Structure 1
Amino acid sequence: MADRMNPHWVLARMPPEGWPVDADFAWREAPAPSPGPGQMLTRTIYLSLDPYQWGRRRRGVEAPGEVCHGRTVSQVVESRLQGFVPGDFLFNTNGWQTYGLTGEGISTFGYMFPRKLDPSLAPISSAVGVMGMLGLTAYAGLYVQCAPRAGETVVISAASGGVGQVAGQLAKLRGCRVVGIAGRAEKCAYVKEALGFDECVSHLDPGFADRLRTACPEGVDVYFENVGGRVFETVLGLFNSGARITLCGLASQYGAMGEDIVQSWKAAGDKTFSERNMKVYPLFVGDYVASHQDQFLAEMAGWLQDGRIRYREDIHEGLETAPRAFQSMLSGGTFGKTLVQVSPDPTRQA
């Protein structure tokens, strides 16, 4: 419909410098597009905010004036795509906008979109969290790549974040000793008391290195890397021979200027990796969609329903809050999986 307006955020400049600031984003409004053959118009309900989005912008994958990329939970408004009707709920990639097109000719960032959602299996917001790419990221990195064995010590950085909270609980399901690394005291308490980690150490603690060593008396066998920087350097001296690392993210380094942060991370660890016969697995979740997504979704739905996996969401209301929520997430100010609720969720009771 011509009178349906589509508020959205675009990247305002290139290259963005350092950490994101308000000037990196520009608010725009335009008429919502109409779906062509093989397409559908969907209304965004939840927008996922994730650290990788800033790295993506810093690398120039997005150009100024383009709608900012983001995975979303949406509802079909108009459909010209067989198998989808108005009212269906989807996991797709509308990005930072109220309405978006899905289907033929629409970029999906390399993933198999759209995926229809069943609200009876799990809250639809979880499709961009524990039941989505976030959960599959934890599953692929921990189970598929590192394959922890019962009794091993697994350390999870950013343990209260969206990926970290899932990865640590998966390790507990394997019978591992799980040590989380988080920031504020309330985050550490949540990780240990609500999620069931054996220990959680604050990287803000002046005695962080000593406390982490005490929490890992038999060394570290598996490390789920989300942060990099000082946290990684502290874990580095605790690795056992044959330890495994999944390199998921380097959130503390995404504001670094003029350097290859992955190469710098590897350079810091290469000597230890070699001496201790370690394996390091770079993690790109898109590599595991075709091979593991169906199994993951079936298993995760069961774990959620029987209470063996718990999760926390940090939901910000209104699309206009996206830039500030994004900045807060990257600086550690959010708690759990960071979402923006763009429009009402018909499945959620008031």
Structure 2
Amino acid sequence: MTMNRFWALAEGPLPAWPQEDTFVLKEGEIPTPGPGQAMTRTIYVSLDPYQWYYKQQRIEPVDAPCHARTVSQVVRSRMDGFAPGDFVFNTNGWAEYGLMGKDVWRPNYMVPRKLDESSRISHAVGVLGMLGLTAYAGMDLLASPKAGDTVVVSAASGGVGQIAGQLAKQRGARVVGIAGRDTKCRFVTDELGFDACVSHLSPTLPADLAAACPAGIDVYFENVGGKIFEAVLPLFNAAARMTICGLIAHYGEEAGRDSRAMLMKLGEPVFSSRGVRVKNLSVGDFAASHHEEMLAYVGPLVAAGKIKYREDIRQGLEVIPAAFAQMLRGDNFGKMLVQLSLDPTLGQV
């Protein structure tokens, strides 16, 4: 092959939520690595809610592949420490091929690294990657659950939520998940080991959550906002802790960038009267200082089956925009990935 296909943002204003014409499929030559660079073939593309914020803010380079974390294999290298055949974590984005290394744009904390093939390489963009670090930083480092606490996790069957809740269980907490349809709620309790799970689709969500948390809420791991936050708010105990990881319910709003401030204002009477401590999570603040610490703790738990992790893997470059929109709507079941090429470690597409 000599051509590289990729998805880029279409020109013009963006809608509140991605539509069919929000992205355009383009072709270009497969890039040639310069000094200090390597050219890689994309295997897995990670689709995550924060990417819509990147697009809304036009953070990505113009007329370039939409940003995403990826697992790739080195094809050609002029980059020290990386050789053809190596599997790597990098940021090829929504593209079949890409460059990494010197002068290649990436978010400043997403540094390319060689992968250990002793675990599934797809885990590098999931439970053993930034998702795992996000859950670890937000739950263990910021919220610090302890034995006997009641911990509530929204989007509990999603990529971050499933890990965060299981980390709280490791600390001896009672964990209640909030998910969508019944199959997701059963997965959260039967497979992940949460003590209870309520559906945000229920017309009686506030009452359901109150019944699942008879002793109130000591820790809340926020991924969604909106009506879920409103159901949680009256249940906070004195000195409770809340980590704001994401607010996907607000990403399509005009004031989405200010949604954290909006939640703070909405909850201020309760936060002040009950001494609730609220922390905003930016995983980049922990990437350099705690990634290896997270791997040393979470890695053995995953290997021993004490932390379980579900992936929702779609196939082919063409499906990325639709899969991305489905993920934002919550129609995925587990961590959303799109596989673009053969994973040689599995021997299958």
What is the TM-score with the length of structure 2 in the denominator? 0.97
Amino acid at match of 2:267: G
Counting aligned pairs with the same residue, the percent is 56
Partner of 2:332: 334
Partner of 2:184: 187
1:344 paired with 2:333, answer: no
**What runs of 5+ residues in structure 1 fail to find an aligned partner?**
none
Task: Verify the 8 A CA contact 1:74 1:91 in the aligned structure 2.
Answer: yes
Partner of 1:287: 285
Query: Cα offset for 1:282?
Result: 0.7
| Partners of 1:61 and 1:280 in 2: CA distance | 27
Query: Cα offset for 1:157?
Result: 0.2
Task: Verify the 8 A CA contact 2:91 2:110 in the aligned structure 1.
Answer: no
Amino acid at match of 1:134: L
Query: Cα offset for 1:258?
Result: 4.3
Partner of 2:81: 83
Partner of 1:317: 315
1:251-302: CA deviation from partner (whole Å, max 9, x where unpaired): 1111112452222222111221111111111111111011110011122220
Query: Cα offset for 1:349?
Result: 3.7
| Partners of 1:181 and 1:123 in 2: CA distance | 28
Query: Cα offset for 1:67?
Result: 1.4
* 3-state SS of paired residue (2:211): helix
Two-structure CA RMSD over aligned residues (Å): 1.1
Partner of 2:305: 307
Partner of 1:128: 125
1:15 paired with 2:13, answer: yes
Task: Verify the 8 A CA contact 1:139 1:170 in the aligned structure 2.
Answer: yes
Partner of 1:35: 33
| Partners of 1:103 and 1:62 in 2: CA distance | 17
| Partners of 2:244 and 2:69 in 1: CA distance | 21
* 3-state SS of paired residue (1:346): coil
Amino acid at match of 1:250: L
| Partners of 1:101 and 1:48 in 2: CA distance | 17
1:114-164: CA deviation from partner (whole Å, max 9, x where unpaired): 1110111x1001111101001100000000111111110100000000000
Partner of 2:134: 137
**What runs of 5+ residues in structure 2 fail to find an aligned partner?**
none
| Partners of 1:270 and 1:68 in 2: CA distance | 37
Query: Cα offset for 1:60?
Result: 2.5
Query: Cα offset for 1:14?
Result: 4.3
Task: Verify the 8 A CA contact 2:244 2:280 in the aligned structure 1.
Answer: yes
Amino acid at match of 2:98: G
| Partners of 2:88 and 2:111 in 1: CA distance | 9
1:210-261: CA deviation from partner (whole Å, max 9, x where unpaired): 1100111111011000000000011000001111111100011111124522
1:211 paired with 2:181, answer: no
Task: Verify the 8 A CA contact 1:45 1:343 in the aligned structure 2.
Answer: yes
1:66 paired with 2:64, answer: yes
Q: Which moved more, 1:172-181 or 1:280-289?
A: 280-289
* 3-state SS of paired residue (1:181): strand
1:147 paired with 2:144, answer: yes
Partner of 1:253: 250
* 3-state SS of paired residue (1:171): helix
Query: Cα offset for 1:57?
Result: 1.2
What is the TM-score with the length of structure 1 in the denominator? 0.97
Task: Verify the 8 A CA contact 1:141 1:246 in the aligned structure 2.
Answer: yes
The one of 181, 190, 198 equivalent to 1:201 is 198
